[in-house]
């Protein structure tokens, strides 16, 4: 099936591991021109080698701290210089500091806002004007089931990832007339490095092992397992494709059925 992504310039943020890496790999497989970033240069270099080995194609790669607007500007500018205007933006970030409302310092909340929401706003301001001019574009924001269903010790994540849903809805209403779709994906428990860290944190607090914590998560998932990063990536690439041309303003859970609410 041709998804219509060949040669389209694609930005994938935080792509040195986990969901971001799997997403970059799938876009490369579809023939897109991919540019990735990470704040960790060593992990980024390793990711580029992995992508080259698995797809036979190398993405552009940039060290970028998503909490710094100057880094974001440089990433977008250099990508445009090499590939032309960005046609697909996939925002993704590492997790903010874990903690309940009374465990997080003011600076933790600021960091979470800068990482989850402010970085997306900045990226949007940079890539949308050329999309408007072209009459086509895809904005896909990776959020979390924590945006709809709070998760213990992830107060800041729940707060700002929910805000991301509101921002996406607003953009979808404004940008539809320009041929730009805006959608959010809500991954459930996915076995990434971040998820393993959270399992270890919960294990330390509860006296259980990390493996027991993960098993407890799986008990609450109708599919009875955590997701693989490539399963989230498949949803991202579909929403970027021509096959999803009439989907906008959606918040798509890819969670094995974890969210139990009807709306």
Sequence spans of domains, the chain: 9-188+230-252, 189-226
Report how far residue 214's alpha carbon sits from residue 220's, in angstroms, rounded to the nearest whole number. Answer: 10
Q: Has residue 226 got a pLDDT over 90?
A: yes
| Phi, psi of 182, deg, nearest 5 | -135, 120
Instruction: Kindly report, residue by residue over 105-128, the tens digit of the pLDDT.
Output: 999 999 999 999 999 999 999 999
Q: Which residues pair with 168 in a beta bridge?
A: none
pTM of the model: 0.93
User: Residue 144 — pLDDT band, cuts 50, 70, 90?
Assistant: very high
- The total of other beta-carbon atoms located within 10 Å of residue 234's CB is 15
User: Residue 155 — pLDDT band, cuts 50, 70, 90?
Assistant: very high
Report how far residue 224's alpha carbon sits from residue 240's, in angstroms, rounded to the nearest whole number. Answer: 28
Q: What average pLDDT does range 69-97 have in this prediction?
A: 96
Q: What average pLDDT does range 161-171 have in this prediction?
A: 98
Q: What CATH code is assigned to 9-188+230-252?
A: 3.40.50.720
């Amino acid at each position: 099936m041709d998804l219509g992504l060949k040669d389209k310039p694609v930005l994938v943020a935080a792509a040195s591991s986990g969901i971001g890496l799997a997403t970059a790999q799938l876009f490369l497989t579809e023939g897109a021109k991919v540019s990735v970033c990470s704040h960790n240069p060593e992990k980024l270099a390793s990711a580029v080698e992995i992508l080259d080995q698995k797809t036979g194609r190398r993405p552009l790669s940039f060290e970028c701290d998503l909490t710094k607007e100057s880094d974001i500007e440089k990433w977008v500018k250099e990508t445009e210089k090499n590939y032309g205007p960005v046609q697909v933006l996939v925002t993704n970030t590492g997790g903010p500091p874990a903690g309940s409302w009374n465990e997080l310092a003011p600076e933790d909340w600021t960091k979470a806002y800068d990482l989850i929401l402010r970085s997306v706003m900045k990226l949007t301001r940079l890539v949308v004007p050329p999309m408007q001019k072209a009459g086509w574009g895809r904005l896909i924001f990776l959020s979390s089931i924590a945006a709809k269903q709070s998760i213990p010790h992830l107060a800041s994540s729940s707060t700002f990832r929910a805000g991301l849903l509101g921002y996406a809805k607003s953009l979808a209403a404004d940008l539809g007339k320009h041929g730009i779709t805006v959608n959010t994906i809500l991954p459930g428990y996915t076995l990434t490095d971040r998820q393993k860290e959270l399992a270890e944190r919960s294990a330390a607090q509860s006296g259980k092992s990390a493996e027991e914590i993960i098993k407890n998560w799986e008990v609450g998932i109708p599919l009875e397992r955590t997701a693989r990063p490539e399963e989230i990536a498949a949803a991202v690439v579909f929403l970027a494709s021509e096959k999803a041309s009439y989907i906008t303003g959606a918040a798509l859970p890819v969670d094995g059925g974890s969210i139990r609410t009807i709306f």
